Amino acid sequence: MKKSIYLIVITIITLILTGCGNKYQGYWCTYDETATIVALLNDDYTEKQKLAIAQEIEAFDNVESYTFYTKEDYASQMGLDKNEIDIYATYIVTFDSMDSVGTYVEKLSQMDGVHQAEQSYAKNNLSIYYIDRWGKYTYTNSDEVTDEDLEKGKYKEKNGVLIFAPESKKSKTKMLYPKNNYLCGDAGCNKVYAKSNATCSE
Q: Of 123, 143, 177, which residue is a domain's last?
A: 123
Q: pLDDT band at 69, cuts 50/70/90?
A: very high
Whether residue 19 lies inside any domain: the answer is: no
Question: Do 109 and 188 have their domain in common?
Answer: no
Q: pLDDT band at 4, cuts 50/70/90?
A: low
Question: Do 191 and 154 have their domain in common?
Answer: yes
Q: Are strands 114-131 and 26-41 parallel, antiparallel or unpaired?
A: antiparallel
Query: Which position has the higher pLDDT, 71 or 137?
Result: 137
Identify the CATH number of the domain in which residue 59 sits. 3.30.70.1150
Total structural domains within the chain: 2
Question: Do 119 and 58 have their domain in common?
Answer: yes
pLDDT of residue 184: 96
Question: Do 119 and 133 have their domain in common?
Answer: no
Which tens digits make up the pLDDT trace of 27-67? Answer: 999 998 888 999 999 999 999 999 999 999 999 999 999 99
Q: What are the start-end ranges of the E strands in 73-201?
A: 90-95, 114-131, 136-140, 151-158, 161-166, 174-179, 182-184, 192-196
Question: Do 93 and 116 have their domain in common?
Answer: yes
Q: Of 90, 123, 156, which residue is a domain's last?
A: 123
Question: Do 131 and 185 have their domain in common?
Answer: yes
